[in-house]
Structure 1
Amino acid sequence: MTYSGPMPHSAAPPFGRALCAMITPFTEGGALDLDGAQRLAARLVDGGCDGLVLSGTTGESPTTTDAEKAELVRAVREAVGERASVLAGVGTFDTRHTVELALEAEKAGADGLLVVSPYYSRPPQEAVEAHFRQIADSVGLPIALYDIPGRTGTRIEPDTLIRLAEHPRIVAVKDCSYDFLAAQKVIARTELAYYAGCDEHNLALYAVGGAGYVSTVANVVPSQLRAVLDAFDAGDTAGAARLQQQAAPLIELMMSSGLPGTVTAKALLHELGLPAGPVRAPLLPADRDAVDGLRAAYEELTAG
């Protein structure tokens, strides 16, 4: 038998392959900028994103109100229609509040939910599992679990994920665990669609059976990141690796420079004249040196 390139992914991912963790645009006065959100959403879809994740980490969910979260879903749904999936981040450290947000997102027109593990209280795995099951039992939308222990302080352990995969509405994982072995274990043993939540893992996770990515960096270079997956699917693994490597300098500056991705994404979008606006406190804007570095990396990546 002759090997002829990567095997195609066996099933279409539930929310698409190339997802952007979209920023939440604000006006200069700090109010929600729904017009800007619609313009940015349309640009991202035109650039190759087939899904948008709202009110996640990059979307400043801790500092937007419940009403703003629902308004954002409605506005983006209107802007992109059926051209892209719309996921709403609804995770909080309060199960009851999370259920309320999930129901509101469903009413507002979301296609799915992103639910982070409960943070600060650091519940044991039995409680983490019960939290997710209660949310999944309360809504009719498919759910992506968000495993980001570096921010929440609580891991969704692989065995917990394997058990939760049995729930019919728990269909995906956004993986920011930095545990590549555990991700492969869960991919092999479940039907969960695994999305890279760290841009440096976009190609690596895809190559071992992942569904795609949920990317912060896609806010500014959606087509360049989509091209990595397209090259891999076409059997051009060397080309996919080259494209991933070319994006690495911008990924590093945006995600590993000591500034949150929200700050760097908004700074670069503003520099490019695209909808962004300020970050909300306690975040602070990037300084001029950081912005200049981001602009230089962006121009180098997009020059070709």
Structure 2
Amino acid sequence: MTRPIRIPQRVALGAVGGALALALTACGGGAAGSGGDAGSASQADPGAFPVTVQTQFGTATIPRAPQRVVALGWSDQDAALALGVKPVAIVKTEDGFKNGVGPWAEQALGDARPQVLDTTDGYPIEKVAALHPDLILAVQSGLTSADYGKLSQIAPTVGYLSGRTAYGTPWEEQTELIGKALGRGKEAAQAIAAVDQSLTRDAATYPQLKGKSFLYAFPQPSNGRVVLYTDERTRVLERAGLVLDPVATGAPKLNSFSNALSMEHLGSLTSQALLVWYSTPENQQQLESNPVFKGLPAVASGAYLPVNRTLAQASSAPSVLSIPWSAEQILPALAKSLH
């Protein structure tokens, strides 16, 4: 499976707008320093605790404002940071990330230095327990009932909602759930509204994008196929006016977040814009040297965007922090070539 970037668990997988900046400023004051408590009770909404959060694997009852939060979802730390809470531990998503977070979250992280947990072989239960958390976030995660059983014995654990798939929670829902668990529902609503406004502004700023078809792909030469995403990363781009090409949804289903075509059907990728992320430079060189690829409409017109690993991570698990950042990397480049 091909869900960038690090394969955790058992899964085979414009700049920040003024409104968002104001929202983060409003909810970020007084957050804890490096490696210490996650936040203070004075920051929670009045009357927020105790709070009960019902998710797919069980109910988490949080008696008071959490002071030591462990974020086990891919982008759960982003939502927490946006709400002024600095987790004591987060999961490793990309080797090159300074202090474990993407560049979109560095300012919100400040001088905090959370422990970075490697979940490639599953959640490190003993390490989590040793951190003495009073809340575990696993919303944008691959949580299983067995995982939940172990983690919930350590601390109240908030997973994804019933009916959602692993790593399949929309960013708005993720922010709402985490905001509720942290007692910061008002701040969560403000942060969501700010990102919504930034996406609306993006659509107005780049009218060239409106109605243009696009695909977000990932080549797998070893499997002889091209993965076409149909998940949150494409939904965010649709908010900016782009339209997902029907070839993505019509291709044979690969998993809950993507479909795939065999490489022999590469010529059917006739969308007006094309984003492709590559796991290795060799894969990029191989695809870009393919004569069929060179002749694709998006490539020939210049509306082709190679996606690096950092941007792939930002867009694959979109959050209130990463969406404005990734929009700045993607939208101007595509708008320049689309008419």
Superposition TM-score, scaled by structure 2 size: 0.28
The structure with more helix, counted as a fraction of residues? 1
The structure having more radius of gyration, on CA atoms, is 2
Comparing both structures, which one devotes a greater share of its residues to strand?
2
Q: Give TM-score, length-normalised by structure 1.
A: 0.31
